[in-house]
Amino acid sequence: MNYLVIIIGAILVNNIVLMQFLGVCPFLGVSKRISTAIGMTGAVAFVMVLATIVTYLIQKYVLDKFGLAFLQTIAFILVIASLVQMVEIILKKVSPPMYQALGIFLPLITTNCAILGVAILTVQYEFNLVEGVVFSISHAIGFGLALILFAGIREHLDLQNVPKGLKGTPIALIAAGILAMAFMGFSGLV
Amino acid sequence: MNQWKNFSKGFIKENPVFVLLLGMCPTLGVTSTAINGLGMGLATTFVLLMSNIVVSLVKDFIPEKVRIPSFIVIIAAFVTVVQLAMQAYLPSLYKSLGLFIPLIVVNCIVLGRAEAFASKNNLVSSAIDGLGIGLGFSFALVLLGGIREILGSGKIFDITLYSENYVTLLFVLSPGAFIVLGYLIAIINRIKKN
């Protein structure tokens, strides 16, 4: 039951992009085509789950153990940056087709606040490791859901006759606002 | 480039939010009130100023290859300073900004200025650049927060302007952030064209 609350809460009620405003940069940046949106989702999901596990272990067995909690921000961002590098190198060697699909998105992920945000939230909510993994997977699904829905909307927006001043980013932001309004319908679900 | 131009470019011409579209997460996340926007803006300005200064001082000692990780460590150190200082002296602001304080680390504006400006320019220009861009960012956040606060709760800086019976609550909630920012960017585009 507890897991169900975490999953529904993360995907629909507190959607990471539309309600918590984490990962808005890639949400606006790579949402022009559905295919790139899917690639980005895959890369984010992969790194998010890995980063949550690694930062959780570091928090528990290094930072808390030696009373270094104030180094959290520095430690986490370094771990995430090196993790992204490592994933890139390993993926290139082990699975070239997967690297082809996700490769260009990986460098962008270091400065994606969704990754660091979920890692910090997992520590803040005092989850255990399994809950943390469920939490990060659901957030990744929520990110993908918002991104792919938004990419679909933007593909249609390209064909519409938009007022001149609103073309490009402004109309995209307003469409995102309306999408967020739709997601507000889920509030109170958990 | 003269120093005044260097300073003032951050407000409209190269405004990080309205023109460069960087740092969107804190922009949308903390601007439910003008005062939160101001707090976030000034915290980011401090980090930007200090990291620009340090990066421009150490740029000659850092090997090209480990440049980005070193910048990130410098930025993260100053973010930790802000985080601890705010926790101690402004606990209520710290609470309302929440997660977005540690997330200054991944704000693309800060790393962007370190990489694009401070690593190529001298100390004085880098400091002025950091201050200008930071204040431009604060300006954008206060503007966005102010509009949302007036429309959504009928107040500005906690001074009541009109009765709560006439407010549109939507604007302090998340959809309002996207919609107001969309229209603001449209207006700024129009101003820039003239």
**B23-82 pLDDT tens trace:** 888 888 888 888 888 999 999 999 999 999 998 888 888 888 788 888 888 999 999 999
pLDDT of B78 reads: 92
pLDDT of A141 reads: 92
Task: Judge residue B164's burial from the number of C-beta atoms within 10 Å of its C-beta, 0-12 exposed, 13-18 middle, 19 or more buried.
Answer: exposed
pLDDT of B164 reads: 77
d(CA B2, nearest CA chain A) in Å: 31
Q: What tens digit of pLDDT does each residue of B108-153 get?
A: 888 888 888 888 888 888 888 889 889 999 999 999 998 988 888 8
Cβ A70–B106 below 8 Å, yes or no? no
d(CA A120, nearest CA chain B) in Å: 8
Could you tell me which of A142, A144, A150, A177 has the C-alpha nearest to residue A13?
Answer: A142
Task: Judge residue B55's burial from the number of C-beta atoms within 10 Å of its C-beta, 0-12 exposed, 13-18 middle, 19 or more buried.
Answer: buried
Q: Cα(B194)–Cα(B183) distance, rounded to whole angstroms? A: 17
∠ Cα B132 B137 B139 (to 5°): 95
User: Rounded to two decimals, what is the model's pTM?
Assistant: 0.86
Domain total for chain B?
A: 1
| CB-side neighbour CA atoms (13 Å) of B129 | 25
**Band of pLDDT at residue A106, cut at 50, 70 and 90:** confident
Of B28, B72, B170, the CB nearest to A81: B72
**Band of pLDDT at residue A189, cut at 50, 70 and 90:** confident
**Is residue A184 pLDDT above 80, yes or no?**
yes
Helix axes B123-153, B34-58, angle to 10 degrees: 170
**Band of pLDDT at residue A53, cut at 50, 70 and 90:** very high
pLDDT of B1 reads: 58
Mean pLDDT score of chain A: 85
Cβ neighbours around B2 below 10 Å, total = 6
| DSSP symbols for B74-102 | HHHHHHHHHHHHHHHH-HHHHHHHGGGTG
Q: What tens digit of pLDDT does each residue of A123-177 get?
A: 888 888 888 899 999 999 999 999 999 999 988 888 888 888 888 888 989 999 9
**Is residue A1 pLDDT above 60, yes or no?**
no
**Residue B68 is part of which domain span?**
3-193
Q: Which residues of A3-42 are buried (b: 16+ CB within 10 A; e: fewer)?
A: eeebbebbbbbbbbbbbbbbbbbbbbebbbebebbebbbb
**Is residue A86 pLDDT above 80, yes or no?**
yes
Q: Are A16 and A143 in contact (CB under 8 A)?
A: yes
Element (H, E) at A115: helix A113-124
Cβ B181–A173 below 8 Å, yes or no? yes
User: B159: helix, coil or strand?
Assistant: strand
Average pLDDT over residues A107-121: 82
Of B29, B69, B185, the CB nearest to A81: B69
d(CA B65, nearest CA chain A) in Å: 13
Chosen for mutation from A76, A82, A111 (greatest number of chain B CBs closer than 10 Å) is: A111
**Is residue A73 pLDDT above 80, yes or no?**
yes
Identify which has the larger pLDDT, B170 or A1: B170
User: A161: helix, coil or strand?
Assistant: coil
Q: Cα(B136)–Cα(B149) distance, rounded to whole angstroms? A: 20
**In 3-state terms, chain A is what percent helix, strand and coil (to 5)?**
80, 0, 20
Q: Are B93 and A111 in contact (CB under 8 A)?
A: no
Q: Are B38 and B145 in contact (CB under 8 A)?
A: yes
For residue B118, the one-letter residue type is: A
pLDDT of A187 reads: 82
**Band of pLDDT at residue A103, cut at 50, 70 and 90:** low
Could you tell me which of A165, A144, A152, A151 has the C-alpha nearest to residue A46?
Answer: A144
User: A114: helix, coil or strand?
Assistant: helix
Average pLDDT over residues A102-108: 70
Chain B residues touching A28 at Cβ < 8 A: 21, 24
Residues 6 or more apart from B97 whose CB is under 8 A from it? B30, B36, B39, B40, B43, B86
